[in-house]
Amino acid sequence: MSDIPKIRLRNVHKAFGPKTVLNGLDLDVMPGESVVIIGGSGTGKSVTLKCTLGLMEPDSGTIEVDGENVVGLSSRERERVNHKFSMLFQGGALFDSLPVWENVAFGPIADKTITRKQGKELAIEKLAQVGMPAEVADLYPSELSGGMQKRVGLARAIAGDPEIIFFDEPTTGLDPIMADVINDLIVKVTRELGSTGLSITHDMASARKIADRIAMLYQGKIIWQGPADSIDHCDNPYVQQFINGRADGPIEMAVRK
C-alpha cells in the first residue's frame, strides 16, 4: 500500500448563503480502503461527496486525488480525473430513456473504448456480477423494483472498472433483506475490483458491514474516526448517541430548538 492517500480532503469549507455546511473538513482515504461517513441528515455528507466529485466547488480548502489538487480544475481536466470515479446514487439515477444495458455500459460506450455491441455483452456480464439475469438487459429502468434499480446502478458504477467508487446512502429506501444483499454486493464488487470506496450513510448496519473505517460527520467536521469494529467501544458521546439512535444527547436536532 502506498503512502499517498487516494483521496485527501483538507480544511474544506462550503456554505450556501448564510448556512455553513462544511466547516473545515479533514479526511483521508487510503488506496483499497473502504471508508464510511456517518452522520445525521443535513450534516453535509452529500455535499462532501459532491465536492469531491466536482459537482460543487468548495469555498476553500484542498481536495487531492492521488496527490493532485482537484479544486478549481478546468472542465476538461475534471473529466480526466472523473475517469477514476464512479458513483452509486441514492435513487439509482438510471437514465429512464435508455434500456438497462445501455445504462450499465454508458460510461465505456461514451468513452468509445468499446462498441455498442460489446457494450451489451459487457452489461450482461456486469449484471451477472450483481446477481441479475441477462433478460433484464432489455427492460427499461421504470420496469424494475427499487432494489433491482439499485443493483443496476451498482452494475453501472462498476462497469468502467473505476479506482474509486462513491456510494450515496446505498441502502436507503430498501427493505432490510434487500439492504443486506446490496451491502454484500458492495463488499464483493469492490473487493473484486480492488477499488477504494467512500460511502455516506445513516444506516449503522450498512456502515458496519461495508466499512474498514468509519468517520462521523457533525456540524461540517469529522468529530470521530476509527476502525469499524472499534466504534462500539468508543467513548465519544456524539458517536454513542448516533449509533444507538437516541433522541437525547449532545446532538440537538433542529426541531428541538
Partner 1 sequence: MNFLQPIGHYVLKFFGSVGRLVLFTLTALSHCIRPPFYPRAILRQMIEIGYFSLPVVGLTTVFAGMVLALQSYTGFSRFSAEGAIANVVVLSITRELGPVLAGLMVTGRIGASMAAELGTMRVTEQVDALTTLSTNPFKYLVVPRILAGITMLPILVLIGDIIGVLGGYLVAVYQLGFNASNYIQSTWEFMENMDVVSGLVKAAVFGFIITLMGCYHGYTSKGGAQGVGKATTDAVVSASILILCFNYLLTMMFFDK
Given the rule CB under 8 A, which residues bind partner 1?
Answer: 50, 53-55, 75, 79, 82-83, 85-87, 89-91, 93-97, 106-107, 110-111, 156, 160, 166
Give the relative orientation of helices 146-159 and 116-129 as an angle to the nearest 10 degrees: 120
Q: Do residues 209 and 187 lie in contact, with contact meaning Cβ atoms separated by under 8 Å?
A: yes
Nearer to partner 1, 89 or 224 (CB): 89
**Nearest distance from residue 88's CB to partner 1, in Å?**
10
Give the dihedral sign, CA 126/127/133/137.
negative
In the complex, least distance from residue 156 CB atom to partner 1, rounded to whole angstroms: 8
User: Using CA atoms, how far apart are residues 146 and 129, in angstroms rounded to an integer?
Assistant: 18
| Nearest-approach distance from CB 75 to partner 1, in angstroms | 7
CA-CA-CA-CA torsion sign (8, 11, 14, 19): positive
The SS3 of residue 175 is: coil
Helix (H, G, I), strand (E, B) or coil at 247: coil
| Between 76 and 233, CB nearer to partner 1 | 76
User: Which residue lies nearer to partner 1 by CB, 141 or 218?
Assistant: 141
Q: Shortest gap between Cβ of 65 and partner 1 (angstroms)?
A: 14
Of 43 and 103, which CB lies nearer to partner 1 in the complex structure?
Answer: 103
